A and B are shown apart, each in its own frame.
Chain A
Amino acid sequence: MSKATTGSARVNGRSADSNASPNGDAPERDPDGADRGALAAAAALPLAAAAAAGGIAGRLLGPVARSLGNRLSADLDDRDPDFIRENLPLSWLISTLWFRGEVRNMQNIPEQGPVLLVGNHSGGNLTPDTIVFTVAFCTYFGVERPFYQLAHNLVLASPVGPLLRRYGTVSASHEHAREALEAGAAVLVYPGGDWEVHRPVWERNQVDFNGRKGFIRLARDAGVPIVPVVSVGGQETALFLSHGGGLARLLRVDRTLRLKVLPISIALPWIVNVGDFFSHLPLPAKITIEVLDPIDVEARFGPELDLDEVYEQITGEMQGALDGLAAERRLPVIG
């Protein structure tokens, strides 16, 4: 992990990985032909173009574009253990009092070495499951253990982006994940990303990676185990109604801003929340997370991987665990 390497990701005010999927896939087309994870790049590009074109607009927007580009570029060195440690009490308070977090079987995560933690994702842009799990990981293993979370570019481009980078959040791409794993870190990835996190509330107990298999290739190439992390409750923090793919197409933001989802939900304090751009006040739903047994992909499935088979197996096991967690819940939100 070097500054030079990570610095090379900074290209003309946008991240070189800005077409990356938030699931850690290498830049590639999704099954639906969509470029994912490009929200911030889409926002940065016009600014960068204006800056390059010169003129008043360029002079005004240039710093903004550079700032946005800097936020998106990855640098594993941005992770700050002292900052994480000093903020653990706040995260613990939120996790304990608001979400009544419960994380089980942390001992399933290998004590040392790189590991790819693969989770199902819930709760809109606020992602309470990430908050609860990150607190649990950092207290269990200590802030000294390198731990990175891959996030959508939009998250890192937001005002809280700089804070999240100090927590170890980097924009999602195959390269960033591989770099972190090669450095011996634990990496948390949510293959379902923006698609899964905005699924309707009646699908709250479904694992939905939308066919994204990049995490399997990543684990195989890096030679690290996959540890599935299954959570329940996050999709009860608001009344999520739709991914809003149709709305995105209707408003043509799928072309102008490359937004393939434009989620619609009923959430505080907006009541009707379209896009969830400014996040929302989550309902205090109980979040329960279970860490499953590690999976050595190559040892279990052989050197010639059938990605579809591995994908079905892993998501099937996660769905089974999620069904179990869902069965324990007596009432929505209450848990």
Chain B
Amino acid sequence: MRINSSIIVRAPKELVWELITDPAGYLDFMSGITRWELQGDGDVVETPARLELGSRVRMLIRVGAAEVGGLIEIVEYEDCRDMAWSSVTGIDQRGRWRLRDAGKGMTRVELRYSYGVAGAGIAGLLAERVGAPILRRRLRESLQRLKQVTEGERQRREAGARRERAAA
């Protein structure tokens, strides 16, 4: 099952990219996410780091009666444009952040997510469909929160820049 959602953010894509490659921010803006931990060589990475090609993250998202997810890996990384991940363990999943200029300093942010369990048969298909509205809502809420966080950050930085100019 594949679902996707998109939103226009009043901020440059560089700023959006900065936020979505910061693993520490996911618990704040991703709806339903209960775990988002960057993994090192078998351990959780203690110091904050950026997501990059090959980064592995242990993630869980609450869907219905369970927290579902597993270990994912960043498999595609094009600066300020695309970042895609694929599951290593857990349910089969692929996801993608897709950023595009929307003109006038705005960015179109698209979040795509596909998931399933190979070999699960009819129950798997049914579970995918039952889970779809929940996940679709999660995606929409996540993008709304990302928009708020990003635009808040843009305003904060613009205000800081104005203060510096005034002080100068």
Residues of A within 8 A of B (CB): 82, 85-90, 92-93, 95-97, 99-103, 106, 132, 135-136, 139-140, 142, 144
Contacts and interface: CB of A to CB of B under 8 A. Distances in A.
Interface in B83-139: 89-91, 117-121, 123-124, 126-128, 130
Given A85-B117, A90-B120, A140 B126 contact: no
A200 to B, nearest CB: 27
Contacts of B66: 92, 95-96, 101, 103, 135-136, 139-140
27 contacts: A82-B119, A86-B118, A86-B119, A86-B120, A89-B120, A89-B127, A90-B127, A92-B68, A93-B130, A96-B64, A96-B65, A97-B130, A101-B66, A103-B65, A132-B65, A135-B65, A136-B66, A136-B67, A139-B60, A139-B66, A139-B69, A139-B90, A139-B91, A140-B60, A140-B66, A140-B67, A142-B89
A88 B65 contact: no
Contacts of A100: 65
Nearest to B64: A96
- Most chain B C-beta atoms within 10 Å of own C-beta, residue among A86, A96, A136, A139: A139
B23 interface: no
A101 B71 CA distance: 24
B65 A101 contact: yes
A93 B126 contact: yes
- Most chain A C-beta atoms within 10 Å of own C-beta, residue among B65, B69, B120, B130: B65
A90 B69 CA distance: 16
Interface of B: 60, 64-71, 89-91, 117-121, 123-124, 126-128, 130
A95 B68 CA distance: 13
Contact of B127 (A93, A102, A106): A93
A102 B66 CA distance: 7
Contacts of A88: 91, 117, 120
Given A86-B119, A142-B70, A142-B90, A92 B64 contact: yes
A92 B89 contact: no
A97 B70 CA distance: 22
Contacts of A144: 89
Contact of A93 (B71, B119, B123): B123
A103 B123 CA distance: 22
Nearest to B70: A142
Contacts of A97: 64, 130
Closest 5 CB pairs of A and B: A101-B65, A96-B64, A89-B127, A90-B123, A95-B65
Nearest to B124: A89
Contact of A136 (B65, B90, B119, B128): B65
A102 B65 CA distance: 5
Contact of B64 (A90, A95, A140, A142): A95
Contacts of A96: 64-66, 130
Contacts of A106: 67
Contact of A89 (B60, B69, B70, B123): B123
Contacts of B123: 87, 89-90, 93
Given A86-B118, A93-B123, A95-B64, 16 more contacts: A85-B119, A86-B124, A88-B91, A88-B117, A90-B120, A93-B126, A95-B65, A96-B65, A96-B66, A96-B130, A97-B64, A101-B64, A101-B65, A136-B65, A139-B67, A139-B91
A135 B67 CA distance: 9
A89 B65 CA distance: 11
A95 B67 CA distance: 12
B67 A89 contact: no
- Most chain A C-beta atoms within 10 Å of own C-beta, residue among B66, B67, B127: B66
Contacts of B68: 92, 139
A140 B91 CA distance: 11
A143 to B, nearest CB: 8
Contact of A92 (B60, B65, B69): B65
A101 B91 CA distance: 19
Contact of B126 (A89, A102, A142): A89
Given A96-B130, A97-B130, A142-B90, A89 B117 contact: yes
B98 to A, nearest CB: 27
Nearest to B60: A140
Nearest to B68: A139
Contacts of B69: 139
Contacts of B90: 139, 142
A96 to B, nearest CB: 3
B111 to A, nearest CB: 22
